[in-house]
Structure 1
Amino acid sequence: MSTQHHIVVFEHEILRTDRGAKRITIDQLKSLQAFYGETGVPYYSLVHNGVKFCEYVGVLQIGNTLIEVLPKIDKSLTTSKESWRRVLIDMLHTVGVLKLNAPTSGSLKLKSNSILDLYFEIFINEVKYLLRQGLVKKYRKTEGNRTSLKGNLKFGKHISQNLVHQERFYIQHTTYDTENKLHQILYKAIKLLANINTNESLQGAIQSLLLDFPEMPDIKISDAIFNTLVLNRKTNGYQKAIEIAKLLLLNYHPDVSKGSNNILALMFDMNALWEQFVYTSLRKHKNKGFTITAQNTRNFWKPSNGYNSKMRPDIVLNKGEINCVVLDTKWKNIKNYNPSPQDLRQMFAYMKYYKAKMVALIYPGATFKKTHGHYYDHNEQSPQSISTEECSVISLPHNTNIRDWQKEITFEIEKWIGISYKSETNF
């Protein structure tokens, strides 16, 4: 096992080969360029002698080098990388991407060097738990030459293969054992961990799994194989281990040219994560008199042929009612600038189509800030006429205490809507 080289950057930072306190090697850059390919990847863009990360966060492992990309609302904030890593882990846990509430999670240190190490640790604990419970056995059909006639004789193959070996029988029979698709996937994931892990504290546990887990035949991994899996009462306990195995196996990109700079990409879109986090926070702490829906889709434009264009706001409160409110989340710090014209036009369309009483753009920010502006009256001939239709802009500061942050998000949004609170204990 090689010693891990750990580089921590924040979103929108640049890593180069020729300058900067944090650098990558020319070989690592070539691997990132090859991974980027002609069609590109959403995690970063290519710059001169380096790469520039965008709004995707998580980890990229290249050989024994781990590049960890963390979120950060504002460069001026002095919050440590450990705090931002904790914030990211808590956000992923809150929206259900990283599930830490199972019995096997009780022994987690939760001080791992990166999210990747945390996923490895959860997977190891899950598989250990399955081994302690006893791996599920299933019936499977097998065929081949045997020295005793047990099962169905496959006459054609028996004649072709055993003409001079009359002591053998080519038969098909049913076997009841642990060799099945679930265990083949888990075994392949364990072998992958043994190959790519660079965290010395996890190496012993991974090697123990390799010894304790029954050896399985190799299996070709694709989305299709996971789509065919059906869990039942006996195999429900496999769900988390299979989910992590899928995440790791489908995001692993071996370096076929040299074999030393394999890439594992475990990245999350902060725009999608922020949207889900705000929605989950509102759903958990919202006033009982409100309804809330996410990703509500409506037809927007119908072409003469082909598919309709649709609109899909992030969050709609009280859909279909006179006090309907539409919220759209954007993971970017606009500071003291105005929202983009595209975002404002989008909110205007939402207001019209959903007949919303209020609309707002929800951003992260270094401090809490709430502003609003009015649209010009599109029904008047005078271009200077201001309508009563407005769009608000709400910036919400982060809180390293994730529960308090969720409450603060809900409190500020509902206060903007106009809900009165008896006391903060209502949360």
Structure 2
Amino acid sequence: MHKQRKIIQVFEHQRLLKGNIYDEVRFETRYFDALLKLNELHENRYFTAIYGGIKFDSFVGVLQIDDLVIEVLPKVEGYTSTKNQWRDVLIDMLRVTHDLKVSEVGQAHVDKQSIHLLDIYFDWFLTEIEQLIHAGLIKQYRKETKNTLALKGKLEFAGHIRSNLVHQERFYTTHQVYDKDHLLHRIINEALGVVEKLSKGSYRYGRCKAVALNFPEVSFIASSPSTFEKFKFNRKSEPYRTALALARLIILNYSPNVKSGVENMLALMFDMNDLWERYVLAKLKQQAGGEWLVKGQDIKRFWEGKTIRPDIVLEHVETKTSVVIDTKWKNYAYERIGMDDLRQIYVYNDFWEAKMGMLLYPSPTMTKVAVEGTYAKNGYRGKIGLATVLDSNGKLSRDLGTNIFSLLTVD
């Protein structure tokens, strides 16, 4: 009998203490020990170990430790929204930034209060595999070295002598085989095994077993990052692109850990600073119209071997005026604005010869300019902007890009 899955929801920067009960689930020592090992595998990025527990940092997403699922949710102070609302906000931000395609899973599943982020990614992966099976799985050529009763391909002399001193009617050869047991299917099969292990106790387990039954038997593989780097798509394999990307996400974030007493662990976490930057960039591109050119990842040489890259650079189509935006996923308070942030936006302004530079923070109330000043050099303007994350209905604001453009002025 499979263990019933337990779920704990926490916000970023929140603490979990050993032995305490959260959402009617006790945070046991075995979970704490496993989490420390999992965090160590990911360069201790996701949380900080404290006395008797852990304290989450700016990473959000989901961690699964055996039968325990921990959802780490974003939060802006000042909102009274529930955890499930912030879960939906996170899902929507991932959808907008193309890290997640909710449409491939079905909105009805997303609306279930018991579903979490791993559920959505797993369902998306299974849907992709079902579609590939329905369309017909491809065959590819591969090399196979083994004993055969007929001489075909290249005879491997060393292996032939070693293996066939007694059975001289056999030939140890390397030859080409055209079948479904190739690298692409081996990777997908490995990911299916991870999904099956982590879905025990959920509605998905039966679906995963059904998909596996319809999938061909293939050789075992233990994938590493280099496995995915060397794969090249062609016309036949192009339909597999999304499935392979999801398989990579699942496999490389999976950490089986027998020593800790917990069999399976998986971390699917996102840096909230990076996600906020990419979400703002996506909304600005969507809502720029024909007035602004929106660029991300704009890089300039700063020093010997050093470059600088502001989060977002805007250029007004008519006036050619530039605006630099540096996004900060922090709770805004004027007295806590760091000098490093102010110096950084000044340097961006200088190098891009921008007329305006803006530090953009999330806001619980409204989109507005909180503080505005003028730099002495060349009359550059600096602004600290606040952007509302949620609308009046508690949903992710769909007009964020338009609202940000309203804060800008061009000469």
Task: Name the TM-score, length of structure 2 as normaliser.
Answer: 0.90
1:31-53 Cα distance to aligned partner (Å, 9 max, x none): 12223349942111111111111
SS of the aligned residue for 2:110 comes to coil
Q: Which residue of 1 aligns with 2:54?
A: 51
- AA of the residue aligned to 1:333: N
The 1-side partners of 2:316 and 2:405 are apart by 16
Count of residue pairs the alignment pairs up: 403
Q: How does 1:120-159 map to 2 (within 5 A)?
A: 120-159=122-161
> Given that residues 10 and 72 in structure 1 are in contact (C-alpha distance below 8 angstroms), is that contact kept between their aligned partners in structure 2?
yes
Residues 416 and 123 of structure 1: CA distance in aligned 2, closer, same or farther (over 3 Å): same
Cα deviation for residue 127 of structure 1 reads 0.8
> Given that residues 278 and 406 in structure 1 are in contact (C-alpha distance below 8 angstroms), is that contact kept between their aligned partners in structure 2?
no
- Does residue 28 of structure 1 match 2:31? yes
The 2-side partners of 1:390 and 1:419 are apart by 11
- AA of the residue aligned to 1:204: G
- Does residue 111 of structure 1 match 2:111? yes
- AA of the residue aligned to 1:280: A
**Farther off after superposition, 257-266 or 397-406:** 397-406
Unaligned runs of 5+ in 2: none
1:98-127 Cα distance to aligned partner (Å, 9 max, x none): 1345xx545872235111000010111111
> Given that residues 154 and 170 in structure 1 are in contact (C-alpha distance below 8 angstroms), is that contact kept between their aligned partners in structure 2?
yes
Residues 419 and 357 of structure 1: CA distance in aligned 2, closer, same or farther (over 3 Å): closer
Q: Which residue of 2 aligns with 1:390?
A: 381
Q: How does 1:199-348 map to 2 (within 5 A)?
A: 199-302=201-304, 308-318=305-315, 323-335=321-333, 337=335, 339-348=337-346
Identify which of 411, 414, 419 aligns with 2:405: 414
**Farther off after superposition, 105-114 or 134-143:** 105-114
The 2-side partners of 1:293 and 1:59 are apart by 30
> Given that residues 126 and 240 in structure 1 are in contact (C-alpha distance below 8 angstroms), is that contact kept between their aligned partners in structure 2?
yes
Identify which of 174, 177, 180 aligns with 2:179: 177
Residues 406 and 418 of structure 1: CA distance in aligned 2, closer, same or farther (over 3 Å): farther
- AA of the residue aligned to 1:410: G
Residues 338 and 319 of structure 1: CA distance in aligned 2, closer, same or farther (over 3 Å): farther
The 1-side partners of 2:394 and 2:233 are apart by 33
Cα deviation for residue 316 of structure 1 reads 0.8
Residues 147 and 39 of structure 1: CA distance in aligned 2, closer, same or farther (over 3 Å): closer
The 2-side partners of 1:348 and 1:287 are apart by 28
Identify which of 98, 101, 106 aligns with 2:100: 98
Larger radius of gyration, structure 1 or 2?
1
SS of the aligned residue for 1:179 comes to coil
> Given that residues 253 and 267 in structure 2 are in contact (C-alpha distance below 8 angstroms), is that contact kept between their aligned partners in structure 1?
yes
- AA of the residue aligned to 2:198: I
Q: Which residue of 2 aligns with 1:194?
A: 196
Q: Which residue of 1 aligns with 2:170?
A: 168
SS of the aligned residue for 1:232 comes to coil
> Given that residues 46 and 269 in structure 2 are in contact (C-alpha distance below 8 angstroms), is that contact kept between their aligned partners in structure 1?
yes
Q: Which residue of 2 aligns with 1:65?
A: 68
Cα deviation for residue 63 of structure 1 reads 1.2
Unaligned runs of 5+ in 1: 303-307, 379-386, 421-427
Residues 79 and 327 of structure 1: CA distance in aligned 2, closer, same or farther (over 3 Å): same
> Given that residues 363 and 389 in structure 2 are in contact (C-alpha distance below 8 angstroms), is that contact kept between their aligned partners in structure 1?
yes
The 2-side partners of 1:295 and 1:172 are apart by 48
SS of the aligned residue for 1:96 comes to coil
SS of the aligned residue for 1:109 comes to helix
**Farther off after superposition, 179-188 or 259-268:** 259-268
The 2-side partners of 1:86 and 1:19 are apart by 26
> Given that residues 323 and 354 in structure 2 are in contact (C-alpha distance below 8 angstroms), is that contact kept between their aligned partners in structure 1?
yes
> Given that residues 43 and 267 in structure 1 are in contact (C-alpha distance below 8 angstroms), is that contact kept between their aligned partners in structure 2?
yes
Task: Name the TM-score, length of structure 1 as normaliser.
Answer: 0.87
1:84-105 Cα distance to aligned partner (Å, 9 max, x none): 111111111111111345xx54
SS of the aligned residue for 1:238 comes to helix
Cα deviation for residue 162 of structure 1 reads 1.9
1:3-61 Cα distance to aligned partner (Å, 9 max, x none): 11110011111000144645411111111222334994211111111111111100011
- AA of the residue aligned to 2:217: E
